[in-house]
């Protein structure tokens, strides 16, 4: 991983600051919400105590008549519905309709109250509707589809309001008592066929209804005489009709402030009073953000339950967990959050007790608008400042990393260029800086300077040794020559001959060591002349065939002529070194290929030979002075041949390189196609 990415990752640590800030804001919001919850709990207890002082106004029912699931709830309607068989004009939630299980599908029903009248709506799924034949006996005999409202005031007997239709439209309603069945003109009813069944909408004066109501739906499979198969499906024993009480609603209205919602339930959770001022608030939680910022804010705060669960239950029966706890006699609380605005609602439930009995519960809810405003403002500032600070920190660190990495890269490139060139004393970048990179640059410069001094010493070592050893070698050689003219025994003559061979080898070594110096001098004083490189290479290849008869030499040339200006004898000397190297690393009978081509306005001269590949670690040092990869330590190979070839190639503004190929090793010399000026 490069330096820029490392510093960029380090910059992400700045996100710990906004995380800590968000945690602080969350804890602050939680503490404020708990305080608000405690205040609401005290208010709810006070309202519950006030209601408990008038227990006679609180609805009660005997346990036997108050069975779970049997009770009907009367929803208060704001407007008077039109009796037309449709429920859309009731302005109630679709979820307010309750269900019974019928033969062909669900039976849905709802009860509404408006101006001393009860409104009944029942929707029945029926594959085959059986209408009445308009005979009273048929009504008594239950040989048609019908809906019955069972009304009773315990311990009196039941009264049944019967709805049967001869056809869709306005229908006549009947009241069945112990004395018989009679039409009731004060009841309005409309039977409406709908897709898959039928619907009934009716208006019944409240004076005709008892305290308990039930709904029974009768389904006849087909019209006929007595004995026709049929089934009746209804609610169980009629339960008390529960609804909101005006007296309690007036009391709730008095104790409810703007921004609050008050709900009073009976002991079973049925809503008997409610007033909603939750939407009336002077502060809407501060300026709300939209889009991604809103999602980010909502993700940072504590989630809570969905805000819809705080709304009054559409069925009329409050069943939230914290309300159920209050109905068991214990205070409880909950809180909800709306996802759109992030607004939170704190809710508390306090039981209403009288004479040790829990008669119901008081539910008080309040929006956390002030808390939301503070939280949103804090989060907004925190998010914005954090975002700007993080971006600035990331941009600053990225810019600094880029600048720092460029300095390191420049230093690295300069050091590599210095190693590849002969000038190891060139100044490196950032050498004058006072930081750690400046120290590193000065250290590199010092190392390169020492390496340059060492290379200069190695370059001149051969000539120095050659100069210093020639005089002692001449003395040794002359002494051996004089000794050969003296009478010697056989052993002494053998020693003298071996000493003479050793002196000859030393002379050849000194000649090879001084060859590089001579080449440098020749390159400096050589007079460039025009010549044809193709002709020179072709004739030289023939000479190599005579000089090395145990090898095969092949000359591949795709050019007819290769006119250039330079020192042909030095280029042939360079080729001699390459051929000598190729012969030394090839076997008897191998073919050595000399090739000449043109590429990118330059001549390309290559010498290829089969043999062992070059070691990868030696490829960059192969053309240095006194470096050899030959095995056995042969005396005549001191690693100066390729160094001399490099001097000649670079003296002609060319370059030389070595590479491994499929068959062996190839040395390639690149020479420019240009005229050399005299004295260059």
CATH number of the domain to which 442 belongs: 1.20.58
Q: Is 408 helix (H, G, I), strand (E, B) or coil?
A: helix
* CA pair distance 194, 88, nearest whole angstrom: 14
**Which run of H or E residues covers position 160?**
strand 159-164
Question: What CATH number did the domain enclosing 314 receive?
Answer: 3.30.450.20
What pLDDT is attached to residue 363? 93
The reply to whether 179 falls in a domain is yes
The reply to whether 541 falls in a domain is yes
Whether residue 585 sits in one domain with residue 556 = yes
The reply to whether 414 falls in a domain is no
Q: Which of 242, 273, 288 is the last residue of a domain?
A: 242
The reply to whether 646 falls in a domain is yes
Question: What CATH number did the domain enclosing 597 receive?
Answer: 3.30.565.10
* CA pair distance 445, 452, nearest whole angstrom: 10
What pLDDT is attached to residue 161? 92
The reply to whether 418 falls in a domain is no
Q: In 245-356, at which residue ranges do the beta strands (DSSP E only) sit?
A: 260-266, 271-276, 305-306, 332-337, 344-354
Q: Which of 472, 504, 525 is the last residue of a domain?
A: 525
Question: What CATH number did the domain enclosing 96 receive?
Answer: 2.60.40
Whether residue 255 sits in one domain with residue 227 = no
CB 348 within 8 A of CB 363: yes
Structure tokens at 554: 């092949």
Structure tokens at 489: 């025994």
Whether residue 332 sits in one domain with residue 371 = yes
What pLDDT is attached to residue 554? 93
Q: Which of 212, 242, 272 is the last residue of a domain?
A: 242
The reply to whether 5 falls in a domain is no
Whether residue 96 sits in one domain with residue 207 = yes
**What's the 3-state SS for 578-612?**
HHHHHHHCCCCCCEEEEEEEEECCEEEEEEEEECC
What pLDDT is attached to residue 304? 53
* CA pair distance 481, 500, nearest whole angstrom: 8
- Provide the sign of the torsion angle of the four alpha carbons 611, 612, 618, 620, taken in this order: positive
Whether residue 438 sits in one domain with residue 362 = no
Whether residue 609 sits in one domain with residue 464 = no
Whether residue 113 sits in one domain with residue 234 = yes
The reply to whether 404 falls in a domain is no
Model pTM?
A: 0.53
* CA pair distance 372, 394, nearest whole angstrom: 31
pLDDT along the chain (680 residues), means of 10: 68 71 72 81 90 75 48 90 93 89 87 94 90 60 79 78 91 87 92 93 92 85 52 62 86 84 90 84 47 55 60 88 92 76 78 88 81 60 72 78 83 81 76 82 86 77 70 81 79 81 76 69 77 90 91 91 88 90 90 91 92 74 66 53 85 88 89 60
End-to-end CA distance of the chain: give it in Å, rounded: 48
Work out the angle between the directed axes of helices 16-52 and 246-255 (0-180°, nearest 10): 130
List the domain range (segments joined by +) for residue 80. 63-242
Whether residue 131 sits in one domain with residue 103 = yes
Burial class (CB in 10 A: 0-12, 13-18, 19+), 68: exposed
Whether residue 533 sits in one domain with residue 456 = no
Query: What is the tally of structural domains in the chain?
Result: 4
Whether residue 208 sits in one domain with residue 84 = yes
Burial class (CB in 10 A: 0-12, 13-18, 19+), 344: buried
Whether residue 236 sits in one domain with residue 121 = yes
The reply to whether 397 falls in a domain is no
Phi, psi (rounded to 5 degrees) for 562: -140, 80
Whether residue 609 sits in one domain with residue 576 = yes
């Amino acid at each position: 991983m490069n330096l820029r990415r490392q510093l960029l990752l380090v910059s992400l640590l700045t996100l710990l600051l906004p995380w800590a800030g968000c945690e602080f804001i969350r804890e602050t919001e939680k503490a404020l919400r708990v305080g608000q919850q405690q205040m609401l709990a005290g208010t709810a207890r006070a309202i519950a105590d006030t209601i408990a002082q008038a227990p006679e106004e609180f609805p009660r029912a005997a346990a036997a008549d108050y069975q779970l699931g049997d009770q009907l709830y009367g929803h208060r309607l704001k407007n008077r519905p039109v009796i037309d068989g449709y429920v859309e004009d009731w302005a109630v939630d679709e979820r307010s309709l309750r269900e019974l299980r019928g033969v062909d599908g669900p039976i849905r029903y709802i009860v509404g109250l408006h101006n001393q009248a009860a409104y009944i709506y029942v929707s029945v799924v029926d594959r085959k509707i059986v209408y009445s034949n308009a005979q009273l006996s048929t009504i008594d005999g239950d040989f048609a589809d019908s809906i019955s409202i069972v009304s009773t005031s315990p311990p009196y007997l039941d009264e049944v309001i019967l709805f049967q239709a001869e056809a869709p439209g306005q229908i006549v309603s009947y009241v069945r008592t112990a004395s018989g069945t009679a039409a009731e003109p004060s009841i309005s009813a409309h039977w409406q066929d709908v897709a898959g069944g039928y619907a009934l909408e009716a208006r019944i004066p409240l004076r005709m209804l008892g305290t308990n109501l039930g709904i029974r739906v009768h389904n006849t499979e087909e019209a006929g005489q007595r004995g026709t198969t049929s089934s009746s499906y209804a609610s169980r024993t009629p339960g008390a009709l529960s609804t909101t009480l005006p007296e309690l609603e007036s009391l709730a209205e008095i104790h409810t402030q703007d921004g609050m919602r008050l709900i009073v339930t009976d002991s079973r959770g049925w809503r008997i009073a409610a007033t909603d001022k939750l939407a009336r608030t002077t502060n809407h939680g501060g300026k709300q953000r939209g889009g991604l910022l809103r999602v980010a804010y909502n993700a940072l705060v504590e989630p809570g339950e969905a805000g819809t669960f705080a709304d009054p239950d559409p069925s009329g029966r409050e069943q939230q967990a914290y309300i159920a706890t209050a109905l068991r006699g214990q205070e409880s609380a909950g809180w909800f959050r709306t996802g759109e605005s992030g607004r939170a609602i704190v809710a508390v439930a306090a039981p209403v007790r009288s004479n040790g009995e829990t008669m119901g519960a008081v539910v008080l809810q309040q929006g956390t608008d002030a808390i939301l405003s503070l939280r949103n403002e804090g989060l907004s500032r925190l998010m914005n400042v954090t975002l700007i600070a993080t971006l600035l920190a990331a941009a600053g660190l990225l810019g600094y990393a880029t600048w720092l990495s460029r300095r390191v890269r420049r230093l690295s490139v300069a050091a590599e260029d210095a190693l590849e060139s002969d000038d190891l004393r060139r100044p490196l970048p950032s050498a004058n800086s006072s930081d750690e990179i400046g120290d590193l640059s000065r250290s590199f410069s010092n190392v390169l300077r020492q390496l340059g001094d060492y290379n200069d010493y190695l370059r001149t070592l051969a000539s120095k040794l050659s100069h210093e050893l020639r005089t002692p070698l001449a003395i040794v050689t002359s002494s051996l020559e004089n000794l050969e003219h003296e009478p010697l025994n056989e052993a002494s003559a053998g020693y003298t001959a071996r000493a003479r061979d050793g002196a000859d080898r030393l002379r050849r070594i000194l000649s090879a060591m001084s060859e590089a110096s001579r080449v440098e001098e020749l390159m400096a004083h050589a007079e460039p002349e025009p010549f044809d490189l193709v002709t020179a290479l072709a004739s030289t290849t023939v000479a190599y065939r005579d000089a090395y008869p145990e090898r095969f030499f092949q000359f591949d040339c795709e050019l007819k002529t290769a006119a250039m200006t330079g020192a042909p004898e030095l280029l042939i000397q360079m080729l001699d070194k390459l051929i000598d190297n190729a012969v030394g690393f090839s076997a008897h009978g191998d073919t050595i290929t000399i090739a000449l081509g043109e590429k990118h306005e330059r001549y390309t001269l290559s010498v290829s030979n089969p043999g062992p590949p070059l070691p990868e670690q030696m490829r960059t040092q192969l053309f240095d002075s006194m470096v050899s990869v030959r095995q056995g330590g042969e005396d005549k190979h001191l690693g100066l041949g390729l160094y001399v070839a490099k001097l000649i190639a670079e003296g002609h503004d060319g370059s030389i390189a070595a590479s491994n190929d499929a068959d062996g090793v190839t040395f390639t010399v690149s020479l420019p196609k240009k005229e050399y000026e005299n004295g260059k």
